[in-house]
Each structure stands twice: as structure tokens, then as C-alpha cells.
Amino acid sequence: MSELKRYERPIINKQYSGFMNKFGTSPITTPKTEIDGIAVNHLVEQFGSPLFVMSERRIRENQRNAYRIFKTRYPKVQFAWSYKTNYLDAVCSVFHSENSWAEVVSEFEYDKARRLGIKGDNIIFNGPDKSREALVKAIRNKSKIHIDHFDELYLIIEITEQIQMKAEVAIRINMDVGVYPKWDRFGFNYENGEAWQAIKRIMANKNLKLVGLHTHIGTYMMSAEAYRIAATNMALLTRSIRDEYKHLLQYIDMGGGFASNNTLIGQYLPAEQVVPSLEQFADAISSGLFSLSFSAEDLPLLILETGRALVDDAGYLITSVLANKRLSGGKRALIIDAGVNILFTSFWYKHKISPAQECGVYQEEAAIYGPLCMNIDCVRESITLPSLKQGDKLIIEHVGAYDMTQWMQFITLRPNVVMVMEDKSTELIRKAETLEYIIERENLPAKFQKK
């Protein structure tokens, strides 16, 4: 028996003169029915909905591509995976197997990297909050400690005296790169001489070894020029350190922040048209580093802590339509089973959202709401989609960065995460949460317990 064609309820579209109408162009929605060759239906049958899916193949491609792009422009390149962007063990492990070090911004992330077998000296420890215990650990393991402020510098000096060990340190530097508001709350300022003060303090201390300089000028940066300015400043400082102290730094760490191909809310053109390519970022950084004018063997290693640009498009969220609705003004609304509690990035991105099955030709604007009983749970104010019925699937793309770290249990729990492996097998890399998981952490005072 041949399958019945899908019934499409007719809709009436008002035509306005002077505007695009049914005789003009309309957006074409092509369904996306598989991820890396695995049918979406199959994934949902096996792992449920909503479901996060990570692509091993895409992560590897992205990392290799980025390495090639930088390595062809500057001779010594090392990537360090930004844990906070996505710290699922499986995801970090793919990056580490592509030769990436770990870049962490908390003790918990630090411990997670150690657990995955990352050597202490391949861990970069960033961030404004490093406890005494965390610093002791990092010093003993010879990790690269990127100092954020003078109080941290003094604490490190004190610890090294106490435990009689040397610490490998760098300082984080903030500067004016022509992008506003300025990110000046992290690290030491370049323009007002604070960074140089910190360098002097470090160079004067026998227990501290200044191994590098670090900057991270912002996130989702759309200006390659900002990186050229930053790299130039870093190169000039590195040169001053050589000239003043006859001391060669091991590395310059340019941080992360390259924009990914996700369109910001309020941005008119799609990301593919406005986001600079990795080549442009790499050109800018390598041209800034020319200011070093060092001989080849004296050149410092260039470290990159690229996060979102390497993982965003390797993540997908499969979600199901729970209901169709009409708002009081007549606007179409869809309710889906994935809310903003697991899709934090919907507060700033207009994600690409595609139906995951064959669909009809009629398109209509719709708002997409999540399942939470909260007015803020709006996944998308407005998107043009074909008609969808209850149970139909949608794929939300480019959700590999920050969603799986900033998600929360709020009204609903976090769902399964699977990885489609290079050989097209699928692995569950994080189990959906359960009520038991939630209450395991709770403690009910005895007087409330039912005997």
C-alpha cells in the first residue's frame, strides 16, 4: 500500500500591495530529516524527545580546519579547548584527541580536565575566582596560571613561599580594541600601564616564572580588526619584556571569542553574510604578531582558546511539536517540548530551525513557545514555517556552544545527549535526568518526614 500524501489544511493569507506576496519569493523550507546520516525519527525512537545531538565528525572537521588556517599563517600554534563552552566529557575528549589542551575557568572544570587525563602543564587556568586550594593544585601540577588581579598575584606569591615551589604564570590583559562596551573587568589594563606593573612584580619575584601573556577580548566578536589591534599590543609587550629583561615568553594566548555562524536577535542579515571567516580572524592575528619581529626560533607559541566557533554547528536539538495554537490576535503559535531552560541561547540567537519530516508548500509565520508555564519561555518570536502537526519534529541547529553548560532544571529536566560517532554509530553521552537525580541532593528535615 502506498503511503497517503500528507493532508494540509488550507490557510488564508492576506496579500498586501507593495509587499512580497504569494506571487513573489517566499522562503523555502527544506526539511532536515537526518543528522550525519542518522534518521531523526530513529534517534527519537531510541533516545526520546527533546534530544541534544553532537556530531563527532563536525567537531573534528572544525578543529582540524581551524588548526590548518592558523598554522598556515603562523608557525607555532596550539589550541586549548574552552571547557565552559561545552564540558561534556565526550565533547572535551574529541577536542583533546585532536591535540587540544584544556582551558578552564573554575576548579570544577580544572578537576574535570585532570580526570580526563590532561597533564597539568597542558591546562590553562583562567578566571577571576581561583581558591587557595585550587592554586596550590595548579602550582604543584605546573599548570599555566593566568592571573586576573593583584590580589591573586599576592596570593600566588604567598603560596609559592609556603610550599617552596615555583609557579608558571601569565597575566590576562584587557585593552581598548575599538569594540564597546570595553571588556575591562578581567585582567590588567594595557593602556594605563597596569599590565606593565604586574609584569614588573612578577619578574622581580624569584618564585614566579612569567611564561606568557593572555587576552580574551570578548565573545561573539564580529570584528577581525579588533584581533589585529590586540595581537599587535601583545606583540609589543612581549618585545618589551625581551628587551627589558632578556626574557623570552613561551606563548601569547589570544583567547577565544570568534563569532560562530549563528544570527543574533535584532541582526538583519544572516550570520553567514556578516560574521568574518576564521581566515580573516587568523590573518588579523598573524599580521598583528608581525610586530614581534623575532627570529623564527624565538617566536612564542600562539595559543587559541576558541570555543563557540568550533562547536556551535556540531550541536543540534531535536524537539517535537506539542500543539498548534492561535493567539488572540490571530497569530499562529507552536508549542514544542524544548524550553528556554535547555536552550539558553534562544535569548540572543535566531537559530536555524527546520522541520524534520517532509512538509507541505504553505508557509505561515509562527511564534514558537517552549513547554514551560512561564511567559518568558519563547524560543522564537517569529519564524516562517510550513504547517506542522502534533508530534512532528523540528531540528534547532547550532546549539553546541553554551547550551549544554548553561542549561538548568527548571520545570523540566535536562534531556538525553547523544553523539553521532564518525562510524555512524550513536552513543548516549549524557543521560536524561530523573526525579531521583534531583532529590538525591535534597535533604528533608526529619520533622517533615512521613513515618
Give me the sign of the Cα torsion angle 444, 447, 450, 451: positive
Task: Report the alpha-carbon distance of residue 315 to residue 210 in Å, rounded.
Answer: 37
145 and 167 Cβ atoms separated by less than 8 Å: yes
How far apart are CB 296 and ligand PLP at their closest, in Å? 27
**With binding defined as CB under 6 A, does residue 212 bind ligand PLP?**
no
**With binding defined as CB under 6 A, does residue 126 bind ligand PLP?**
yes
**With binding defined as CB under 6 A, does residue 85 bind ligand PLP?**
yes
How far apart are CB 255 and ligand PLP at their closest, in Å? 4
Residue with C-alpha cell 587576552? Answer: 215
**With binding defined as CB under 6 A, does residue 306 bind ligand PLP?**
yes
- Residue 202, amino acid: I
Residue with C-alpha cell 534562544? Answer: 346
Task: Report the alpha-carbon distance of residue 225 to residue 312 in Å, rounded.
Answer: 23
How far apart are CB 98 and ligand PLP at their closest, in Å? 16
Residue 309 phi, psi (nearest 5) = -65, -15
Between 218 and 370, whose beta carbon lies closer to ligand PLP? 218
**With binding defined as CB under 6 A, does residue 112 bind ligand PLP?**
no
**With binding defined as CB under 6 A, does residue 160 bind ligand PLP?**
no
How far apart are CB 182 and ligand PLP at their closest, in Å? 16
**With binding defined as CB under 6 A, does residue 62 bind ligand PLP?**
no
Task: Report the alpha-carbon distance of residue 422 to residue 162 in Å, rounded.
Answer: 49
If residue 136 lies in a helix (H) or strand (E), which one and from where to where? helix 132-140
Between 254 and 421, whose beta carbon lies closer to ligand PLP? 254
Q: Kindly indicate which of the ranges 305-313, 323-331, 349-357, 418-426 contains the residues binding ligand PLP, using the contact rule CB under 6 A.
A: 305-313
**With binding defined as CB under 6 A, does residue 370 bind ligand PLP?**
no
Beta bridge partners of 350: 263
Q: In the bound complex, which residue of the shown chain has the CB atom lying closest to ligand PLP?
A: 307
**With binding defined as CB under 6 A, does residue 219 bind ligand PLP?**
yes
Task: Report the alpha-carbon distance of residue 424 to residue 24 in Å, rounded.
Answer: 41
How far apart are CB 184 and ligand PLP at their closest, in Å? 14
How far apart are CB 129 and ligand PLP at their closest, in Å? 12
- Whole-number Cα distances in Å, 407 to 24, 173, 403, 433: 41, 30, 6, 12
**With binding defined as CB under 6 A, does residue 84 bind ligand PLP?**
yes
Helix (H, G, I), strand (E, B) or coil at 430: strand
**With binding defined as CB under 6 A, does residue 257 bind ligand PLP?**
yes
Q: Kindly indicate which of the ranges 63-71, 196-204, 256-264, 331-339 contains the residues binding ligand PLP, using the contact rule CB under 6 A.
A: 256-264
Task: Report the alpha-carbon distance of residue 80 to residue 124 in Å, rounded.
Answer: 8
Long-range CB contacts for residues 115-120, cutoff 8 Å, separation at least 24: 116/89, 116/92
How far apart are CB 299 and ligand PLP at their closest, in Å? 22
**With binding defined as CB under 6 A, does residue 216 bind ligand PLP?**
yes
**With binding defined as CB under 6 A, does residue 261 bind ligand PLP?**
no
**With binding defined as CB under 6 A, does residue 120 bind ligand PLP?**
no
Spell out the alpha helix ranges (H) of 83-184: 89-97, 107-115, 132-140, 150-163
Tell me how far the alpha carbon of residue 158 is from its chain's centroid: 35
Between 259 and 336, whose beta carbon lies closer to ligand PLP? 259
Between 35 and 303, whose beta carbon lies closer to ligand PLP? 303
What is the chain's alpha carbon radius of gyration, rounded to the nearest angstrom? 25
Residues that bind ligand PLP (CB under 6 A): 82, 84-85, 103, 105, 126, 216, 219, 255-258, 305-309, 401
